[in-house]
Amino acid sequence: MRAALARRVLLPLLATLGALVLMLWPALLNGFPIVFFDTGGYIEAAAERELVEGRSLAYGLFLQATSLNWRTLWGPVVAQSLLTLWLLRLLCAGLAPSDGLPGGNGNGPGTLGLVALLALGTGMAWYTAQLMPDIAIPLVVATLWLLAFRWDRLSWGTRLGAAAVGLVSLLSHMSGMALGAGLVAVLALMKTVGVLGRPRSWRALRLLPAAALVVGSVVTLPLLNGAVTGETRLTPGGPLFLFGSLLQQGQVRRLLDERCAEDPHAYALCSYRHRLPTTADEFLWAEDSPLMALGGWEGMEPEAARINMAVMRAYPLALALSSLQAGMEQFFRVQTGDGLDEFHRSTREAVHQWLAPLEPAYLKADQQSEGPTPGMADLSNYLTVPLAYLALAALAALVPQAVRRRDGMALGALLFLWAALAGNALICGALSNPHDRYQNRLVWLVPVFALALNARLRQTEEATDEAEPALRVPNALSLPAALLRRRAARPVLTSSLIDLGVPDGLAAGDLAVGSAAELAVTPQP
């Protein structure tokens, strides 16, 4: 009896504590949660109850609530880690084969092994341990997939919990809303394909919960901002970020050279066109930027919006090509540690002004005292970058296998994640400007999907769980026939870390894998 109780209670608890340590190791090594340039803006937004350009008030309020009204900044990173761990377990269970997870219903070594892989072999821990909403982006992707593809297997409590995590994640960053909207469009396309033909599982996906979550976030954010600050609007600053991207792409300079030569007063920026910086970061953040001379973010926003529209009307093809180029560059920028070793003046000032009791611990941390922690992120890139590219290659290799084995759910999961990766790269690269952290914060989901779906496809090789009728792929998208004809003689990628355990309650209640209805499915002509 005691041994059984220990297995059911003690081992899952120890596994959770071990996972938390792994997900927080950068902060533990640093001696304080990891911070970034933008962290101070989120603190300011919540402390002053005002809208700050490019800094979501919702995430600032999350920081304030989880820090127990600024008593400890360890609260937010612990909360982020626990929410990520919970969704990670749900995601792995949802991606697993229908007859259960490899290794049975046990918890412990499998989950801990996966978290160790992600914490040490990807950049995940640098975001769960950081006071930034970057971790919200992969949580948006995971939540939308679960609600769309696994709605029928989730209990109502889990549905509401996942929706709550997804809503907070969407509210935390405008790029998350844009990505969520794009993924809903992808889901709508998948459902249409399923309704018109095959695969059958796409016909059954639930579009409404995912769409309602994204629409709800777009409605909720201005209402929240209005209730707290009196300004009922989305997070400000969007036109300036887009302007910076167009400047870096060379489109703003081209427009000003043409229009200002004809009329020196066409734009206020005409007077500064010969000393415009070449990068978005210099224009937006440098103290000697023309942005400061033109009234700062608030004063420059109307002019930036005018120039943005003029560029889009004047050079649509050139803009599309340069945006695509920026998105492609962003897709392959996956290094960890972007900007973590900088001075972070705005964050230092915010901590000094609003979090004075925490300032001694903050200044003593490695990040603020030239300690070794920021360098660990740079050092980890010798491992994490090659692993990221290998995981992407593995994800691509699983697509033809999902087609050949007629597994519509696996194919849908693969295409959904590819859409998320491409959409995130395009949104961040084209609408802001390429930075390593934008793609690095999401790419850690790739090994999760690759390992779980690889295990699923290995099992569907011998069973017909969720098998689909032959998938009819349009010729324009079909893979080479020789690749499709390759048989099971070529093994699927394997890994001992795919033993992804979940708590008994999750396997039996929250995610009802192995239902009788699903096991009864047989292929039809």
* pLDDT tens profile 31-66: 999 999 999 999 999 999 999 999 999 999 999 999
CB 57 within 8 A of CB 235: yes
DSSP code for 463: -
Round the average pLDDT of the chain to a whole number and report it.
86
Locate 466 and state its tokens: 């969720």
Q: What is the pTM of this model?
A: 0.85
Residue 98, pLDDT score: 55
What amino acid occupies position 330? Q
Q: Quick one: DSSP state of residue 132?
A: S
What is the average per-residue pLDDT within 348-360?
97
Tokens of 384: 């994490």
Nearest to 298 by CA among 241, 235, 236: 236
pLDDT band for position 502 (cuts 50, 70, 90): very low
Q: Is residue 199 reached through a cis peptide bond, with omega within 30 degrees of 0 on the bond before it?
A: yes
Say if CB 420 and CB 183 are below 8 A apart. Answer: yes
pLDDT per position as a tens digit, 99-153? 433 333 445 567 899 999 999 999 999 999 999 999 999 999 999 999 999 999 9
pLDDT tens-digit profile of 276-328?
Answer: 998 999 999 888 899 988 889 988 999 999 999 999 999 999 999 999 999 99
Residue 9 has pLDDT above 80, yes or no: no
> What percent of the chain has a predicted confidence (pLDDT) above 90?
73
Residue 506 has pLDDT above 80, yes or no: no
- Asked if residue 492 lies in contact with residue 401, where contact means CB atoms within 8 angstroms, the answer is yes
Q: 212-216, 356-360, 485-489 — which is least confidently predicted?
A: 485-489
Q: What is the rounded (10 degree) CA torsion for 197, 202, 204, 208? A: -120
pLDDT > 60? residue 511:
no
Closest listed residue to residue 439, CA positions, set 163, 130, 89, 179: 179
In this predicted structure, the answer to whether residue 202 has a pLDDT above a threshold of 70 is yes
pLDDT of residue 288: 86
Mean pLDDT of 13-33: 95
Does residue 155 carry a pLDDT above 70?
Answer: yes
Confidence band for 508, pLDDT divided at 50, 70 and 90 = very low
Residue range 180-200: average pLDDT? 93
Of 385, 375, 347, nearest in space to 29 by CA: 375
